[in-house]
Structure 1
Amino acid sequence: MTPPSGTAVLETETPTPAPTRGTLGGEQKNWAEQLALALFIGLPFAALVAAVPVMWGWGLSWLDVVLAAVMYAITGHGITIGFHRYFTHGSFKAGRKVRIGLAIAGNMAVQGPLVRWVADHRKHHKFSDQDGDPHSPWRYGTGVRALTKGMWWAHMGWLFDIEQTPQDKYAPDLLKDADMVRVSRQFPFWVAASLLLPTLAGGLITWSWQGALTAFFWAGLVRVGLLHHVTWSINSICHAVGNQPFRSRDKSGNVWWLAVPSMGESWHNLHHADQTAARHGVLRGQLDSSARIIRWMEKLGWVSDVRWPDRARIESRRAA
């Protein structure tokens, strides 16, 4: 069987031995994983909602804003450059230190362990907006009620599905990499680090418990919650609305107003038309900070063999 477009692994239906897993647990999420998932989603989201009234009162400083922006950039690009463009689609090559760094930064985004995230996303591309897609907003149909239900499913609901994507089928390359399995299993540690590092920085810089507390709230919980919903919006909003200048076999669209917070991921139509491309925003004025950072990494010699889409390749994927 040939691999699906945009995936650098071979798939097989041949029965295999009990797989090595990059995350803890079996093929179904147990109650502890479900509870942890609810906390990971619920607490940051509650913090995000609470941020609005808190913002107009006490407890927000320029230090909190800077710490939140720095942590958002590091962990967000850990997802967009690391988990997505590199580990899922192989848009460039990287050495061991860069691979580990990208895996850690992605884990600190609190969106699930590396191997699980990659397996889910590769399955999404294989069945995009069809039966089998883990998070299509068109899951229940095309009517208003069905699409409303589907948008909820694509945005957050699918995360609570007890069925897990088989990692041995969709991410066997990562399961063969001892470094990646180790970092993936360290997910709880990197979640704690993601929340405690800005807290520690806020406390040390201000030399106060209040500085630590506000940094934990803004650069920890609120930052994680915002990044969660921006990332999930690519699954929901960008598969329901947006223009489609390129040919793809699904309903992926470009949503311009998500480009900056999503670090270029919302130029989603080109991504589904050319899944291994390192740049998603290929048209004039399409900001893509992830592609810009990959370019800097290439110039520094940190990455190589970057799959930049040239003009001919772009034009060949234009919609009629």
Structure 2
Amino acid sequence: MTAVPEMAPEAARRAPEPELDPEGTSKAQRVTVFFFVFVPLIALVAAVPFAWGWGLSWIDLAIGAVFYLVSGLGITVGFHRHFTHGSFKAKRPLRIALAVAGSLAIEGSVIKWVADHRRHHKYADAEGDPHSPWRFGDDWRSVAKGLFYAHMAWMFLSEEKTSPKRFTPDLLKDKDIVKVDRLFLPLVLFSLFAPAAIGGLATMSWWGAITAFFWASLIRVALLHHVTWSINSICHTIGEENFEVRDRSRNVWWLAIPSFGESWHNLHHADPTCARHGVLKGQIDISARIIWMFEKLGWATKVRWPNKERLEAKRVAA
């Protein structure tokens, strides 16, 4: 099942929209992605000696935790479950807030992120999937190469650019979301430099601003990036299969908490529009709990909670 909106009968008779943007990915776009991927990664590698020499304050941890929660849930609840799959309807203020929060993760603008993910579901682990770890083959060398490609390399090595007209026509018609999409760069700058400003003001020192920028901006972004990318790579390579799927999506329990429940990936591919991914006993799904809270507050409606009969029909025999 795919979350790509159905075409109207008259649209179906016309020539189909291209799967990829005919302009492809420009050199400037690849350089930009390369910068935002590797600068936080370098900071992550440098984190241990940095902490050993100068220390880490509770203020840095608090700022980083808040930004990790807001931006991470913006991706999982907003970009993924709401915008990509329509797992629930959101009131306008919440819808805009989720688009902004997800943008703070610096994983791409909302329309681009959703277009790539809808394309992933349409071609999961088959030709056309933008980031399958199985694209090079099944032997260990091919899988190792595929893991790196699926984890991060696809973003700056691939010259293919998913067509927003084909995969996100609904978002392109939403003026609020188009505006947030266009404001991606200012939101990136805010995500990077707001922690430094808060840290500097909290400590009334430039050093407080520098350490907050390092930990709550660079390290936080790098950590969230790699947790998110692990869903594309690790959760399509190893783990448990509890539900029948046509691809190689699996559940990886040790990623459940840092990914806010996204690593219960096997059920997600079995039932993509379900608002809860961790449906079995003991499967913690923080994103689903947040959606439940939104529903109780009246901010979210028409939530697609798990259907017991549908789940049992898809269960893999023990």
User: TM class, shorter-chain normalised?
Assistant: over 0.9
Q: Deviations over 1:73-117 (max 9, x none)?
A: 000000000000000000000121111100000111000011010
Task: Name the counterpart of 1:94.
Answer: 90
Q: 2:284 aligns with which of 258, 271, 287?
A: 287
Rounded to whole Å, the distance in 2 between the matches of 1:217 and 1:122 is 33
Matches within 5 A, 1:62-81: 62-81=58-77
- Cα distance, 1:34 vs structure 2: 1.6
Matches within 5 A, 1:266-281: 266-281=263-278
Is contact 1:9-1:171 (8 Å) kept? no
Matches within 5 A, 1:97-116: 97-116=93-112
C-alpha change, 1:55 and 1:14, in structure 2 (3 Å) is farther
Task: Name the counterpart of 1:246.
Answer: 243
Task: Name the counterpart of 2:51.
Answer: 55
- Cα distance, 1:5 vs structure 2: 2.7
Matches within 5 A, 1:127-146: 127-146=123-142
TM-score between the two structures when normalised by the length of structure 1: 0.94
Whether 1:260 aligns to 2:261 is no
Rounded to whole Å, the distance in 2 between the matches of 1:297 and 1:274 is 21
Rounded to whole Å, the distance in 2 between the matches of 1:276 and 1:42 is 33
Letter in 1 for 2:209: A
**SS where residue 156 of structure 1 aligns?**
helix
Whether 1:180 aligns to 2:177 is yes
Q: 2:167 aligns with which of 170, 185, 188?
A: 170
Structure 2, unmatched stretches of 5+, are none
- Cα distance, 1:292 vs structure 2: 0.6
Rounded to whole Å, the distance in 2 between the matches of 1:293 and 1:12 is 37
Task: Name the counterpart of 2:295.
Answer: 298
C-alpha change, 1:223 and 1:167, in structure 2 (3 Å) is same
Q: Deviations over 1:56-75 (max 9, x none)?
A: 23141011111111100000
TM-score between the two structures when normalised by the length of structure 2: 0.94
Rounded to whole Å, the distance in 1 between the matches of 2:84 and 2:51 is 37
C-alpha change, 1:13 and 1:57, in structure 2 (3 Å) is farther
- Cα distance, 1:6 vs structure 2: 3.3
Rounded to whole Å, the distance in 1 between the matches of 2:190 and 2:166 is 30
Task: Name the counterpart of 2:150.
Answer: 154
Rounded to whole Å, the distance in 2 between the matches of 1:273 and 1:6 is 13
Rounded to whole Å, the distance in 1 between the matches of 2:60 and 2:207 is 11
Q: Which stretch has the larger CA shift, 75-84 or 47-56?
A: 47-56
Q: Deviations over 1:168-196 (max 9, x none)?
A: 00000001111111111111010001011
Identity %: 56
Task: Provide the aligned length of Structure 1 versus Structure 2.
Answer: 311
Letter in 2 for 1:55: A
Is contact 2:74-2:101 (8 Å) kept? yes
Task: Name the counterpart of 1:37.
Answer: 33
**SS where residue 213 of structure 1 aligns?**
helix
C-alpha change, 1:6 and 1:318, in structure 2 (3 Å) is farther
- Cα distance, 1:31 vs structure 2: 2.2
Is contact 2:17-2:165 (8 Å) kept? no
Q: 2:224 aligns with which of 222, 227, 230?
A: 227
Is contact 1:27-1:166 (8 Å) kept? no
Is contact 2:17-2:166 (8 Å) kept? no
C-alpha change, 1:237 and 1:107, in structure 2 (3 Å) is same
RMSD, matched Cα: 1.7
Structure 1, unmatched stretches of 5+, are 19-24
C-alpha change, 1:12 and 1:57, in structure 2 (3 Å) is farther
Task: Name the counterpart of 1:22.
Answer: none
Q: 1:215 aligns with which of 189, 195, 212?
A: 212
- Cα distance, 1:315 vs structure 2: 1.4
- Cα distance, 1:14 vs structure 2: 3.6
Is contact 2:72-2:224 (8 Å) kept? yes
